[in-house]
Chain A
């Protein structure tokens, strides 16, 4: 399911299946995408932030078009304890690879992978990202 912002319209609540994972897509070339996401985060139940939320940043390949300060992205990661992925969605190969990665994460979030829970995504948050 794709939405341009949250909250989702309540009229369709009863028709909607269970939500296992939320991926917030940020386009580094659009400051507006960041502000929309920051506003939408307020509507997410706190339980999702135990591994069922991640941020996907796109547009980083062309740094000359950057409209967002990277510190703002890192702040989201810190404040919401959720991993940040990067993917150039304009390239088909990367789009496919990213989709596969997200699908794998979704399987874990939905509980379809025995022995692995969404909580283990917190290991992606560790200082390995720091040089």
Chain B
């Protein structure tokens, strides 16, 4: 298939402590242990000024599967109409080969490319590109409605550090999000790979990064009534798989976070550790279970929910770019 699975290979590492994977060091650019590991909650306020929440409302409350994408070669915003035509032809051809989802149902698949200029962190980011597949039953062509069957969008929020260092001719949109059947994702993905010489990989989210999300998103102010902060853990090394779900009252979680966080708008690794340790101690006091020995697999907050397999749901439009900024950073780490 066009997409690679989440598991990386097991590696032997030399005993001097040198590690060959950039992901371990986050944004330290290959230098070990020299960053203080802090992150901003939102991109610079300037970019939020003209954000039209209506236009991006359709992205909310849908489950998106995450991928990292290497830079696209010779991609241009000016050619979206051509891409529409080419991808339509490709999808039709794949259908002929019998690789489409539904067998025996005659479907006309319409492709649409569009640009989402609001989804970026700064002017240096490329505008997000949205690809949508709609179907219309061939039988009743005249009045039948088009049904949206698949969506995928490429974006980059505050990815300047990465895009600045990329050679001429490449467009950086490292984050790819899809909603819809996996088979269409594979078809669209292979077309992009063939056309722009890029490479997709499922974006996995480590328990460490999920804890960051739990802490960062708990700190976000939301006007309406807020659902509980929920953490789901998977317990390893058991004959039967066991999941533990830990729900924390949102006001308690926010109160805890408020005592931990020092600089508004900025979060550090130390603060995340203290926040999580408090939650773990509380759980241990009641249930005598060390959640820190289990694997954090899912985090749900009022802002968004994220799963370690690389699945996200956006719940608040005002924090959409903030979440995308974090996801862009993870996608870039996975590429490098």
To the question of whether A and B form a pair in one complex, the answer is yes
**Does B7 lie within 8 Å of A62, measured CB to CB?**
yes
Nearest B residue to A66 via CB reads B206
Q: Is A29 an interface residue (CB 8 A)?
A: yes
List of B residues within 8 angstroms of A87 by Cβ: 12-13
**Does B292 lie within 8 Å of A74, measured CB to CB?**
no
Q: Is A86 an interface residue (CB 8 A)?
A: yes
List of A residues within 8 angstroms of B8 by Cβ: 61-64
The B1-15 residues at the A interface (CB cut-off 8 A) are 6-15
**Does A86 lie within 8 Å of B15, measured CB to CB?**
yes
User: 10 additional contacts, CB 8 Å, given A68-B208, A91-B10, A128-B18?
Assistant: A30-B292, A62-B7, A63-B8, A66-B207, A67-B295, A75-B33, A85-B15, A86-B13, A88-B11, A88-B12
Which of A7-15, A31-39, A45-53, A107-115 faces chain B? A31-39
List of A residues within 8 angstroms of B290 by Cβ: 32
**With A88-B11, A129-B32: A63-B207 Cβ-Cβ less than 8 Å:** no
Q: Measured between C-beta atoms, what is the minimum distance from B334 to chain A in Å?
A: 9
0/1 string, B14-37, CB within 8 A of A gives 1:
111111010111000011110101
- The answer, among B6, B10, B23, for a CB contact under 8 Å with A88, is B10
Q: Measured between alpha carbons, how far is A67 from B273 in the docked complex, in Å?
A: 11
Q: Is B293 an interface residue (CB 8 A)?
A: yes
Q: Measured between alpha carbons, how far is A63 from B9 in the docked complex, in Å?
A: 10
**With A35-B292, A62-B8, A74-B32: A67-B208 Cβ-Cβ less than 8 Å:** yes
Q: Measured between alpha carbons, how far is A101 from B23 in the docked complex, in Å?
A: 27
**With A68-B208, A71-B37: A131-B30 Cβ-Cβ less than 8 Å:** yes
**With A62-B8, A63-B8, A131-B31: A83-B17 Cβ-Cβ less than 8 Å:** yes
- Nearest 3 interchain pairs by C-beta: A74-B33, A32-B293, A64-B204
List of A residues within 8 angstroms of B208 by Cβ: 66-69
Q: Measured between alpha carbons, how far is A3 from B204 in the docked complex, in Å?
A: 33
The A68-121 residues at the B interface (CB cut-off 8 A) are 68-71, 74-75, 77, 83-88, 90-91, 93-94, 97, 101
**Does B10 lie within 8 Å of A33, measured CB to CB?**
no
**Does A63 lie within 8 Å of B37, measured CB to CB?**
no
**Does A67 lie within 8 Å of B207, measured CB to CB?**
yes
List of B residues within 8 angstroms of A74 by Cβ: 32-33
List of B residues within 8 angstroms of A90 by Cβ: 10
- The answer, among B11, B33, B308, for a CB contact under 8 Å with A61, is B11
